[in-house]
Chains A and B, each alone.
Chain A
């Protein structure tokens, strides 16, 4: 019997005899007389019991949380070899710090009205950077929106971030998406979209495509997909569809849930009644682990192992639930002190966060000190502000970008509408400011 949250839950359920012969897809399953277990098509190996007992969710059986470092940055398991090089750890640290510093500056910039919107990742930098460091650069990423650290780790420059945030002409998204909706073809990261959880079944399909590409061209390297989402998004129907379809089609995909305790104002306790998101993975027949998201080494190690698992035997999905706390407001449009105590947030900030924990670890190794900390922070701040100023001064994309890329070619209808808009601007020139767009009025010519 598989119980949610119990250790038995990690046992792989028996698979159906799944041998495909032309014209015949399933071998028949029949209930043998005198069998001690159920063999119906819908449950092929369920032992009978004469005890009437409902399987009940039990808090005591909560899935354990994998940790490498304790809150003081010390390796918990004595004599454990932690496979981290000094320069790697410093890179992760600087990436997390960059995100953190950029977050503070951009949050304030939004408050000053210089930016329409922003979302910080405070408290969750470790999940993003730790997991990204365990992936291959060719692995494909689908993110939700609070994973800025992945973009930083994969190679997004400060100018890349700022061009998107200011929707200027260097933004590959051509100024169409709200801030923080990053994307990069070169870095194999699909463009973020606002509807929650829609990326999860898409990621399963993308993983299936990668699996087929490798099957059809075995010399091409095996790749997987990493798909990120919050615990709130996991309540959407798309989450259910995705995990089920990924399991039945054996897709090489890592589902990475950031469980940060809140979906805007809704606490997890109003989001679900079970043992977090992890307990659900088991129900779909998916290998699952829960990790401490404030421990970058745990996130990294779990993701490394999960990636190996998900590429084994042609592929299968793996679910990682990374626990953390959303230190920040949900977004610049949210004041979280309307629904939670400031002292609680301050407590989390001070007591446990992924940046200070890695710093303590590095200090214990003698890799980092107060002076480096001061100099790095100051240098990063200057770099962010310089990129900020460059991006803010740039023109926006040409006006025709509003109509292009709806289809691969401009339709006759769109061409006519561009002309109509151009006519209006020509006849009411004082009503429109076209100069902030590249090529001004001429930018509307196809």
Chain B
């Protein structure tokens, strides 16, 4: 029996009658749209091994060379935090220059993403830092400038701002300002150590991971989604996965193959909630490539991260209510530099677009996407591009479920756009 059972029983005696008292995460009794997401049935997750291994977004990328001869790819059901752990473990094993550090990562991390990595890879490569975000990111940039592949963790995206200067003025600009000094070369008798960079003065090996997004009760400083602040910065790649299998493939690409600095935002509400079959072998999903999650002809819904689940629920309700309507759902995956081609191709086909994200609507990712659609697909547009996003306010604790776009708001936005 969980240890919380007794105190809760005591509380119940004093509490108001059940009709007036609701636990945190419930929904209104009459709700048809704003129901909790059922992660065990959502089509966004691979509920069987077969589904993961036959998925066109995963199977072509699985590195079968790492498998023993004559064995077939296998999968394991993992929550998001374990999929990230698996990616980190593979990356640390793949290159001696991969390091993992941040606040409290050594014992496994406050979200369990780095569990067991210290024991496997040793305290020189997996370690705690002092509590200083500008120090963590500055330190990581330095490791990367000397050819390493640092994976720095900022404990919550809400706390990335002390490192804003290091990310914007430094990480994003190192290669640009170094110019020809940024090009690595094995000439001039320069000794290149196995697994380390070749002397080019860039910080392309850098990855900064940070949990982001609403979690139901995170209030002002455990809920933020600061991605659009970084999409204004040329030089940074901003990646935001939607699921365990996506997270593993995108994180492995960010650490081991991407030659540019990457900000990797992890939707923390999915850490335990989203569980799916994840291929065991390593695989590398392409960055700056969107994915069409379900095809449709009547409207394009563009989103990324957690809202994709709410979008899916809203689309299912719309398609049930409006017979014959088919919505196309696109996951941007990388929010900058983003895959404009896939989005434009879709909008030119459907003529209508809705952009959905959690963070504030003002100057958010939706603004950039909507403006680009307006420029590149103006003649095909049959309705204004709608943005459904957080309101231009802060995440007040008691009001969170009114702030983050829910199924009803997305449903309504799609309906209005379809009926325009």
Contact = CB atoms under 8 A, between A and B. Distances in A.
Interface of A: 20, 22-23, 25, 140, 171-174, 176-177, 181, 183-186, 190-191, 193, 195, 198, 200-210, 212-213, 215-217, 220, 237-238, 240-242, 244-245, 248-249, 401, 405-408, 411-413
Given A215-B124, A216-B195, 18 more contacts: A174-B179, A186-B188, A191-B174, A193-B173, A193-B177, A195-B170, A198-B165, A198-B169, A200-B138, A205-B143, A212-B96, A212-B148, A217-B194, A245-B135, A248-B130, A407-B337, A411-B288, A412-B337
A190 B147 CA distance: 13
A438 B93 CA distance: 46
Contacts of A140: 146
A248 B141 contact: no
B30 to A, nearest CB: 47
Contacts, number: 190
Contacts of B176: 176, 405-406
The interface centre, meaning the residue of B142, B144, B145, B147 with most chain A CB atoms within 10 A of its CB, is: B142
Given A201-B166, A412-B341, A177 B146 contact: no
B177 to A, nearest CB: 5
A217 B191 CA distance: 11
B48 interface: no
A205 B150 contact: yes
Nearest to B172: A406
Interface of B: 96-97, 99, 106-107, 118-119, 122-125, 127, 129-130, 132, 134-148, 150, 162, 165-166, 169-170, 173-183, 185, 188, 191, 193-196, 199-202, 204, 234-235, 237, 259-260, 288, 337, 340-341
Contacts of A185: 178, 180-183, 185, 199-201
Contact of A201 (B107, B135, B193, B195): B135
A193 B145 contact: no
Contacts of B235: 406-407
B201 A191 contact: yes
A401 B180 CA distance: 10
A406 B234 contact: yes
Central interface residue in A176, A217, A220, A407, by most chain B CB within 10 Å: A407
A408 B142 contact: no
B177 A173 contact: yes
Given A212-B124, A237-B162, A241-B130, A202 B188 contact: no
A283 B196 CA distance: 34
Contacts of B182: 185, 405
A173 B97 CA distance: 27
A150 B106 CA distance: 39
B140 A205 contact: yes
A76 B194 CA distance: 49
A18 to B, nearest CB: 9
Given A181-B177, A407-B337, A238 B134 contact: yes
Contacts of A244: 130, 132, 135
A176 B177 contact: yes
B170 A198 contact: yes
A23 B119 contact: yes
Given A191-B201, A244-B135, A216 B234 contact: no
B170 A193 contact: yes
A249 B127 contact: yes
A205 B139 contact: yes
A72 B146 CA distance: 43
A421 to B, nearest CB: 15
Residue among B118, B169, B180 with max Cβ neighbours from chain A (10 Å): B180
Contacts of B169: 193, 195, 198
A217 B175 contact: no
A212 B288 CA distance: 32
A405 B175 contact: yes
Given A184-B181, A209-B142, A408 B204 contact: yes
Contacts of B144: 205
14 contacts: A185-B185, A191-B179, A193-B170, A202-B139, A203-B142, A205-B145, A205-B150, A241-B135, A245-B130, A245-B135, A249-B127, A407-B234, A408-B259, A412-B340
A226 B185 CA distance: 23
B181 A208 contact: no
Nearest 4 A/B pairs, CB to CB: A205-B142, A201-B138, A241-B135, A202-B142
A231 B267 CA distance: 41
